[in-house]
Amino acid sequence: GPVIPLYLGADLLSNTDIRIENHPRYHAKFAKKGLATKIKFSSFRFQGLKVPASNNSLWFYNIQGLFRVAFEMYNKQEQLAVLENFQCIDQHMSGELKEKDVAETVLALLKAEDWAKDSVYSSHLLACVGSWLGQQFHAANGSISQKVEGFKVQHIERISDLPPAEELTAELFPEAMWTLLLHWMGLCDESTLEKRRSEYPILLLILEFANHNLITGVAHVLYSSLICK
């Protein structure tokens, strides 16, 4: 699709070691990848910007271009700053962005380097991502509770004969939650199908407790046991 101009190219490259006279060459390189576009203005001039008199135009980058520049030209600290500020960017630009494009861009940046190579215990990036995910999941608790209560009403007469754990999980909890746990528990590969079937009840229990919505008999028994202690 067309490039949605969001970020001034001169600003994105201002903190890099690229000389100003070489900026146009880099802008053109990103433009070939669909990440930047050159906009020409014929009716007015810019205050405070050095624009050649014969070329009253500026380069702008879309959100993917922003992350690409960060990935290729910023140091690790600057990359983390871009990622941490992304939620704020999303609030201002949500009407302009497509979720799929944002997801692909963020994933590419996350996969660009082994951010937890030193220690998963001290990864600032993982802590930030974990915090953000936790906030989103917590905010969804109300809608999840409504869905669970509706399910209980429909199955009140056969609450002891519920569908398999995998079906319950997919029906009652957001995909993001159980996808995270599947990968976390090492159950996402086809080679682990048998193990996945046997451990899915555990995954369901985790979601029941984490969301404060008890569904299965096992969850009620365990919860009562823990509370009594």
Q: What value does the mean pLDDT take over residues 163-175?
A: 93
Taking each helix axis from N to C end, the angle separating 165-172 and 193-210, rounded to the nearest 10 degrees, works out to 50
Residue 48 DSSP label: S
In this structure, is residue 97 part of a structural domain? yes
Residue 40 included in any domain: yes
3-state secondary structure of 52: coil
155 located within any domain? yes
Q: Which amino acid is at 193?
A: L
State the helix-helix crossing angle for 175-184 and 193-210, rounded to 10 degrees.
Answer: 130
Q: What is the pLDDT of residues 4-62, one digit of tens each?
A: 557 888 888 887 888 888 898 999 999 998 888 887 765 445 555 555 555 677 888 88
Q: Are residues 56 and 101 in the same domain?
A: yes
**Measured distance CA(135)–CA(132) in Å, rounded:** 5
- Hey, what amino acid is at 164? P
pLDDT (0 to 100) of residue 42: 54
> Do 2 and 101 form a contact (C-beta atoms < 8 A)?
no
Give the pLDDT score at 95: 52
Query: 173-182: long-range contacts (C-beta < 8 A, 24 or more apart)?
Result: 173/144, 173/207, 173/211, 174/137, 174/140, 174/144, 176/133, 176/136, 176/137, 177/137, 177/207, 177/210, 177/211, 178/203, 178/207, 180/133, 181/206, 181/207
- Residue range 114-150, pLDDT digits in tens: 777 788 888 888 888 899 999 999 999 999 999 999 9
Structure tokens at 221: 């028994």
Task: For residues 104 and 179, state if they share a domain.
Answer: no
Q: What is the band of 224 on the pLDDT scale with cuts at 50, 70, 90? A: confident
Inter-residue contact 215 to 168 (CB < 8 Å)? yes
- Give me the number of domains the chain comprises: 2
**Mean pLDDT in the chain?**
81
Region of 211 please: left (phi>0), alpha (psi -120 to 50) or beta.
Answer: alpha
Are 33 and 95 found together in one domain?
yes
Q: Could you tell me the residue range of the domain that residue 175 belongs to? A: 140-228
- Residues 86 and 11 grouped into a single domain: yes
Per the domain annotation, does 128 fall within a domain?
no
pLDDT digits (tens, 9 = 90+) for 69-81: 888 888 888 887 8
